[in-house]
Amino acid sequence: MGRLRYTTVRLLQAIPVLLGVVTITFFLTDAIPGDPVQIMLGPSPSAQQADAIRAKFGLDQPLYVRYVNYLADVVRLDLGESIYYGVPVTQKIMERLPVTLFLLLSSFTFALCTAVPLGILSAKRRNEPTDHVSRIVALFGVSTPSFWIGLMLIIVFSFKLGWLPATNIVLPWADPASLDAVDPDASWLVARWQVVATSAKHLVLPMITLGTLQMAAFTRIERSSMLEVLGEEYVKLARAYGVSEFTIVRKHAFRNAQLPLLTLVGLQLTSALGGAVLTETVFSINGMGRLIITAINNQDFPLVMGTTLVFGLVFVIGVIITDLSYALVDPRVSFEGSE
Amino acid sequence: MTDEPLLKVENLQTQFFTEEGTVRAVDGISFEVNEGEIVGLVGESGAGKSVATSSIMRLVETPGQIVGGTVTYKGTKIVDIEEGPDGQPRPSEEMLTDEEMREQIRGNEIAIIFQDPMEALNPVFKVGAQLREFIELNRDVGSAEAREIAVDMLREVGIPEPVKRYDSYPHQFSGGMRQRVLIAMALACEPSLIIADEPTTALDVTVEGQIIDLVHDLEAKYDTSFVWVTHDLGVVAEICDRVNVMYLGEIIESADVDDLFHDTKHPYTEALLQSIPRPDQTVEELEPIVGVMPEAINPPSGCRFHTRCPDARTVCREFHPTEQDVSEAVTATHRVACVKYESIGYEDARPLETEATDDFGSGLIDASGEDA
């Protein structure tokens, strides 16, 4: 029962956090200088037109009434209508969110798949050449801005070598009919495969761009936590009972060493969301990052609030997943207080 | 059965190569463990006891290195360091490889019980699973059988409801219970020798008593030999057959437990005994040993104990004593490394001003030359 109860508690705890996100976003957005109505109507609109728009969006009401109304709407999953696009905010988000989530997921997968082996290798070969190389790679990774990495990758792999596409990202779930690369006569399975293959080619550069920073941070934390765990008494005990070094790393040390990494993965979600804004801009990907920029540039209040709320939500869910996986890895977490 | 001891340690030397210099943590120790015997390795913190045991298991970690000596276990050389052609120590051809050491010796022949039971179990795995893994690795049994052995062993070491506790995590056990688990672990692998590295130091006294009783019973039942590392002479008196007293990387006295307590030869052992309460002697006040043990990185010249020895004389500063058999009986050996028992003129030498006899005032008078 320990884990189930723990999960429920953590989920309930997310509610006040999200309420805070909604509240802060609402009042911050209101504090932004400039009048959205003016942006919508262009220069010198008639007072009558402006009033009509204000009435339509409820902007003529006092702030606290608007806040309460907004909260009520959010609870009903209604985030209002985008002023700029003229469609419901939720619709716009549903369109863009999968793209960004997909980008985040693939860049984290890339980061973890490279960082974990690299970190373990560094720890096992401490202060040997492998360790130094990994340290330099990590240093490069954390200190290079992602947009620069993106631009360099585009210059080298798209323009100079022509190996990988730099724009017009294709998602694996795209309609095969919309793609030139797909043979129109191919069977469903072949067509699907061609879409996925095209998508993978499109994904490589943005994935590396967004994932490099995470990869660097993860490598360092993996190395240090692995080093620490390898010095633990229970690792010495395993050695004293004739367990091979490989099994020690794979089994006795691995799970314990992943705990600090898990925490970092959850925290890096914020910086990755920020990185997504830049990466999407560099590669012209229509995801949440570009949506939020468009929203801010056009003072599209409902859209700004909606996208920020979703970013907050993604982060909160990320932290919850981190905590839950913590409980899965370390029995001491979920059993705490139950004994 | 041959007369060959189970474990024979000869002139074992382990050094740590640090930036400050070479630490001679274990500096040429020799001792033997016979079958069914519990041999104590006693000394203050920093005497090199734990380094000695990890050297026997070949588990010394960098910057430490075994630089000399031989450890023979059941006729097999598990450590055998010789001088290479370049003058550097190197393993001899007879010495087991790391692979052989891991597969043939660790766990199934020699098992170890660590000092801190709170840290020695892996927090993310169930206690039973950890036991089972080591049993499977070190005995020729399948998973199901290993599980049965594990449960039986948990029952044997006094864990209540062993079937249920098999599926508990280490954090659900108390310190004493965890030490019982570690003892179960060692015994379950059916080794001939168990090295217990201060197994009761981290436990409170009542639990310590229980654990010692348990080891007593199990030792008799399984006929396992023990190397029992401790700084507690009370524990030694209770369970050991023979005792080796270590000081700064050397064994300075080794004797049967009764001889050591009742016919103490070395001033250090004497001092150790005087610093603990004894049921057979009533004293007004305990006498602690003056000063702290010097660092092994720069040991004192001559006899290493002369800086703290109440019996020290000038000759102790120059002459490094080696172990002599001072036993009067033919059957037993009582070896001691003290200048007193060497014929190089201890009797005629002038007593040394040591930390033990020195006080602050005498130093001042010396400096002003008033005593001349």
Q: Residue A252 sits in a domain of what CATH number? A: 1.10.3720.10
Residue B63: is the preceding peptide bond cis (ω within 30°)? Answer: yes
- Cα separation, B304 vs B313, in Å, equals 13
**Using the beta-carbon criterion (under 8 Å), do B123 and A236 form an inter-chain contact?**
no
Residue for token pair 């199934």: B108
Q: What are phi and psi of A338, to 5 degrees?
A: -90, -10
What is the residue-wise DSSP string for A158-209? IIIS--S--SS---TTS-GGG-SSS-TTS-HHHHHHHHHHHHHHHHHHHHHH
CB–CB contacts below 8 A, A to B: 68
| ipTM of this complex | 0.83
Say whether pLDDT at B362 is over 50: no
CATH fold label, B7-252: Rossmann fold (3.40.50)
Residue of B nearest to A248 (CA): B122
**Using the beta-carbon criterion (under 8 Å), do A239 and B105 form an inter-chain contact?**
no
Inside any domain, residue A304: yes
Contacts for B235 with CB less than 8 Å, ≥ 6 apart? B200, B208, B212, B228
Kindly report, residue by residue over B281-294, the tens digit of the pLDDT: 777 777 788 878 88
pLDDT for the residue B353: 66
Inside any domain, residue A120: yes
Which tokens belong to A68? 């309460």
Say whether pLDDT at B358 is over 80: no
**Using the beta-carbon criterion (under 8 Å), do A329 and B124 form an inter-chain contact?**
yes
pLDDT for the residue B354: 54
**Using the beta-carbon criterion (under 8 Å), do B114 and A331 form an inter-chain contact?**
no
pLDDT for the residue A338: 44
**Using the beta-carbon criterion (under 8 Å), do A241 and B172 form an inter-chain contact?**
no
Q: Judge whether A244 is closer than 8 Å to chain B, CB to CB.
A: yes
Query: In chain B, which residues have their Cβ closer than 8 Å to the Cβ of A237?
Result: 112, 114, 120-121, 182
**Using the beta-carbon criterion (under 8 Å), do A244 and B102 form an inter-chain contact?**
yes
Kindly report, residue by residue over B329-357, the tens digit of the pLDDT: 767 788 888 888 887 777 777 887 655 44
**Using the beta-carbon criterion (under 8 Å), do B119 and A329 form an inter-chain contact?**
no
Contact in structure between B241 and B31 (CB atoms under 8 Å):
no
Count CA within 13 A, CB hemisphere, residue B178. 23
Which candidate, B228, B225, B224, places its Cα nearest to that of B196?
B228
Q: What percent of chain B has pLDDT above 90?
A: 27
Give the total number of structural domains in chain A.
1
Inside any domain, residue A209: yes
pLDDT for the residue B364: 44
| Planar angle of CA B103, B108, B113, nearest 5 degrees | 115
Kindly report, residue by residue over B235-258, the tens digit of the pLDDT: 888 889 999 999 998 999 999 998
**Using the beta-carbon criterion (under 8 Å), do A240 and B189 form an inter-chain contact?**
no
- Cα separation, A156 vs A205, in Å, equals 11
Coil, helix or strand at residue B7: strand
pLDDT for the residue B2: 53
Count CA within 13 A, CB hemisphere, residue B91. 13
Inside any domain, residue A58: no
How do beta strands B21-33 and B7-18 pair?
Answer: antiparallel
Q: What percent of chain B has pLDDT above 70?
A: 93
Q: What residue spans of A144-187 are helical by DSSP H?
A: 146-153
Residue of B nearest to A126 (CA): B62
pLDDT for the residue B361: 41
Q: What are phi and psi of B325, to 5 degrees?
A: -85, 115
- CA A131 to chain B, closest CA, distance in angstroms equals 17
A2 to each of A199, A205, A331, A332, A334, how far by Cα in Å? 41, 42, 9, 10, 6
B45 to each of A296, B56, B57, how far by Cα in Å? 67, 19, 20
Query: In chain A, which residues have their Cβ closer than 8 Å to the Cβ of B51?
Result: none
- Cα separation, A10 vs A25, in Å, equals 23
Determine how many CB atoms are found less than 10 A away from the CB of residue A89.
26
Query: In chain B, which residues have their Cβ closer than 8 Å to the Cβ of A252?
Result: 122
**Using the beta-carbon criterion (under 8 Å), do B59 and A239 form an inter-chain contact?**
yes
Residue of A nearest to B103 (CA): A242
Inside any domain, residue A121: yes
Nearest to B172 among A236, A242, A339 (CB): A339
Q: Judge whether B107 is closer than 8 Å to chain A, CB to CB.
A: yes
Query: In chain A, which residues have their Cβ closer than 8 Å to the Cβ of B164?
Result: none
Q: Judge whether B171 is closer than 8 Å to chain A, CB to CB.
A: yes
Query: In chain A, which residues have their Cβ closer than 8 Å to the Cβ of B182?
Result: 237
Q: Higher pLDDT residue, A108 or B372?
A: A108
Per-position pLDDT tens, chain A of length 339: 467 888 888 888 888 988 998 899 888 888 877 777 777 777 776 778 888 877 877 777 888 888 898 888 888 888 888 888 889 999 999 989 998 999 999 999 999 999 999 999 999 888 888 889 889 988 988 888 888 998 999 889 988 888 888 777 777 777 777 777 677 777 878 888 888 888 888 888 999 999 998 999 999 999 999 999 998 999 999 999 989 889 999 998 998 999 899 888 888 887 888 888 888 888 888 889 899 988 888 888 888 889 988 888 888 888 888 888 888 888 887 655 444
Mean pLDDT of chain A: 85
Say whether pLDDT at B159 is over 50: yes
Say whether pLDDT at B270 is over 70: yes
Q: Specify whether the backbone of B167 is left (phi greater than 0), alpha (psi in -120 to 50) or beta.
A: alpha
Q: Judge whether A228 is closer than 8 Å to chain B, CB to CB.
A: no
pLDDT for the residue A191: 81
Contacts for B205 with CB less than 8 Å, ≥ 6 apart? none
Residue for token pair 């508690």: A9
Nearest to B114 among A237, A242, A330 (CB): A237
Q: What residue spans of A231-253 are helical by DSSP H?
A: 233-240, 245-247
Contact in structure between B297 and B21 (CB atoms under 8 Å):
yes
β partners of residue B8: B32, B72
Q: Judge whether A139 is closer than 8 Å to chain B, CB to CB.
A: no
Say whether pLDDT at B177 is over 60: yes
**Using the beta-carbon criterion (under 8 Å), do B57 and A236 form an inter-chain contact?**
no
**Using the beta-carbon criterion (under 8 Å), do B185 and A329 form an inter-chain contact?**
no
Parse chain B into domains and list their residue ranges. Answer: 7-252, 293-372
**Average pLDDT over every residue of B3-32:** 89
A2-31 and A301-329 are packed helices; what angle lies between their axes, rounded to 10 degrees?
160
Kindly report, residue by residue over B306-315, the tens digit of the pLDDT: 888 888 888 8
**Using the beta-carbon criterion (under 8 Å), do A335 and B171 form an inter-chain contact?**
yes
pLDDT for the residue A18: 87
Q: Which domain holds residue A246?
A: 2-26+97-335
pTM attached to this predicted model = 0.79
Kindly report, residue by residue over B136-147, the tens digit of the pLDDT: 999 888 899 999
Contact in structure between B224 and B255 (CB atoms under 8 Å):
no
How does residue B131 score in pLDDT terms, banded at 50, 70 and 90? very high
| Planar angle of CA A328, A331, A335, nearest 5 degrees | 110
Which candidate, A298, A252, A302, A257, places its Cα nearest to that of A87?
A302
Say whether pLDDT at B363 is over 50: no
